[in-house]
Structure 1
Amino acid sequence: MPALSRLTATETRLFFREPVLVFFTLAFPPLLLVVFGAIPAMREPSDDAGGLRAIDLYVPITVALGLAMFAFNCLPQLFATYREKGVLRRMRTTPVEPRAMLGAQLLMALVLSAATALVVLAIGRLAFGVDLPRHLPAYLAGYLPTALSVFTIGLLVASLASTGRSAGAIGTLVFFPLVFFAGLWLPRESMPGVLRSISDFTPLGAGVQSLQDATVGHWPQPLHLAVVLGWAVLAGIPAARFFRWE
């Protein structure tokens, strides 16, 4: 544990030396929520959404977007850059194991993304009157497995991609379908039945619904928890198994 803590602290310091990554993973989601909230139509109640406003629906979607930005745009490129510069090859001669490096990156991502989620919730409440989660344990029960699932998928991409360019390309290919089914362009409440069913079996779609359920005071549905945990297992095992130092 002391070694993991030191490695996590080192990776966090290195992360903050990349201003572009810091902006898109930490600052972009809150700024996007501000842009959405500045649109008058987003603040009008909708009968199709059960009287909720669009901005109410977009807070959990923006939280999920923050997770996706970190998982698919940040982690793969960090690892690919380490490979290209020979950092991972040199670390191979140390006692650091692949699972320790993966664990440090995962822990860093969880902590920083949670901070971004708190900022998003604060902006939603203070600027646009969005209700805070009524059931905090349920919100955590939805957020943590969702974060774990998308980060392990990102780490799988990071383990397999050999260059920064390929990591960026694969991460982008994964990013856009998942954030679509999370409801970024079309909220889940407005999706046709087929798209909604597909969304239920994607990590971000199931995660967003879990966050929305907790916001109104309900526990996440067992199906959605099973989906996000299943994705974490399916991605996490090969991420550790196929990690390449060079």
Structure 2
Amino acid sequence: MHVLRKLFVVELKLLLREPAAWLLVLMLPLALVTMFGLTASPRTNTNPIVTYFPAMALSLGVAQLALTLLPGALATYRENGILRRMASTPVHPSRLLGAQLAVSLLMALTALAMVLVVGSFVLGFPLPKEPLGFALAFLLGTGALFAVGLCVAAVAPSGRVASGIGAGVFFLLIIFGGVFMPAEVTPKFMTTIGSYLPIGASMQAMRASWAGEWPDTLPLVAMAGLIVVFGAVAARTFRWE
């Protein structure tokens, strides 16, 4: 645990030295929720569609983190031989992987806090009326996206390739996950497809909890299944060198 904590601190410092990376992850959801908050008048707008905007902002920010930043960093470590050298020391590279995941989770939680605080207290978006359901939806959605990102990191030979693959997966998921349009105006078949994808399922579950309802079983089970399946694939295929 002491080694993991030290690796976490080192990874966090390295990340903070690259503001172009972490600022995008944090500022993208904040910019989106601010833009829509200024145009949708959430303080007086009672239309349920209002919950779409903060959920979409959060989903895009976490997806950007999980599918581009995380796999790019891990693939770069493999490309530079860092993971191979660590494998010959008492500090197994799996601990570096754990530290990277912990830093990424901290980033995701920071983005969540920023969106909730600014969205609610500054712009007037309502806070989730079902907080436990919202927390479950956010954690499952984040875990599912991290699992997919680890699969990208497992097969990519370099940081550039990982970022390219991650960007492609990112755009596919937001296209078919119902991110571009709220469910109210999205074709039914697209909503159904989105229920099985990490971004779409996360958005559906978060929107339900924002409205005061417990999320439907389907998106929750889908996200849990994605964590198990992609986590297992990443574990079996991940190469240290």
Q: How many residues align?
A: 241
Does the 8 A contact of 2:42 with 2:125 survive in 1?
no
- Residues 54, 128 of structure 1: alpha-carbon distance in 2 compared, 3 angstrom cutoff: farther
Q: Does 1:100 align with 2:89?
A: no
TM-score for the superposition, normalised by structure 1: 0.90
Matched, 1:188 2:192: no
Paired with 1:230 and 1:163, the residues of 2 have a C-alpha distance of 28
Per-residue CA distance 1:152-197 (angstroms, 9 max, x = gap)? 1111111210112211111011101212344332122211011111
Match of 1:48 in 2: none
Instruction: Specify the SS of the correspondent of 1:167.
Output: helix
Unaligned runs of 5+ in 1: 46-50
**Fraction of identical pairs, as percent:** 36
Partner SS for 1:39: helix
Seen in structure 2, the aligned counterparts of structure 1 residues 40 and 193 have a Cα distance that, compared at 3 Å, is closer
Equivalent in the alignment of 2:5:
5
Are 1:233 and 2:231 counterparts? Answer: no
Question: 5+ unaligned residues in a row in structure 2: which ranges?
Answer: none
Aligned letter for 1:66?
Answer: G
Q: 1:190, 1:39 → 2: CA distance?
A: 19
- Equivalent residue number for residue 16 of structure 2: 16
Indicate the residue corresponding to 1:161 in structure 2. 156
Task: Give the Cα separation in 1 of the matches to 2:33 and 2:222.
Answer: 27
Q: Quote the residue 1:32 is aligned against.
A: 32
Which string of whole-angstrom CA distances, capped at 9 and with x for unpartnered residues, describes residues 125-157 of structure 1?
123211101121111111111111101111111
- Paired with 1:147 and 1:40, the residues of 2 have a C-alpha distance of 26
Residue of structure 1 in register with 2:83 after alignment: 88
CA distance in 2, matches of 1:79, 1:71: 11
Q: Is the 8 A contact 2:52 2:207 kept in 1?
A: yes
Map Cα deviations across residues 96-126 of structure 1 (whole Å, 9 max, x no partner).
3343232222222112101111101112112
Q: Structure 2 CA distance, aligned partners of 1:84 and 1:160? A: 12
After superposition, the C-alpha distances for 1:182-213 in whole angstroms (9 at most, x for unaligned) are: 43321222110111110111111111111111
What whole-Å deviation, never above 9, does each CA across 1:75-106 have from its counterpart, x for those lacking one? 11111221222222221212233432322222
User: Where does residue 203 of structure 1 map in the other structure?
Assistant: 198
Tell me the amino acid that sits aligned with residue 193 of structure 1.
K
Measured in 1, the distance between the counterparts of 2:84 and 2:94 equals: 15
TM-score by length of 2: 0.92
In 2, the alpha carbon distance for the partners of 1:11 and 1:117 equals 21
